[in-house]
Amino acid sequence: MKYKSWKEFPIGNVIPEPATSLEYKTGKWRTFKPVIDQEKCVKCLLCWVSCPEPAIIRHDDDTVAIDYDFCKGCGICANVCPVKAIS
């Protein structure tokens, strides 16, 4: 079927209201699963600041962990890490 305009496309999905990923867990569909090497980590927190989702958890001692329930696997945390502690 060929559509003449975008208005003819069937509705694919509806988002009833604005939301954040705090309401929707990622599950297991991510394309990349980051792992933190705590021995290499220098606690700069660039991963925590750069993560677009609430997936990097900061502890009181500035160590970090990854909440895989919300991690989308974008790889930003690994790319910004200056000591490559995230693979």
Q: Domains in the chain, ordered, with CATH?
A: 30-87 (3.30.70.20)
13-26 pLDDT, tens digit per residue, is 666 666 666 666 77
The pLDDT of residue 1: 65
Burial 37-66 (b: 16+ CB within 10 A, else e): eeeebeeeebbbeebeeebbeeeeeeebeb
The pLDDT of residue 19: 64
Confidence (pTM):
0.71
Cα–Cα distance for residue pair 38/54, rounded to 1 Å: 19
The pLDDT of residue 29: 75
48-69 pLDDT, tens digit per residue, is 999 998 899 999 999 999 999 8
The 8-class DSSP code of residue 86 comes to B
Length of the chain: 87
25-39 pLDDT, tens digit per residue, is 776 777 889 999 999
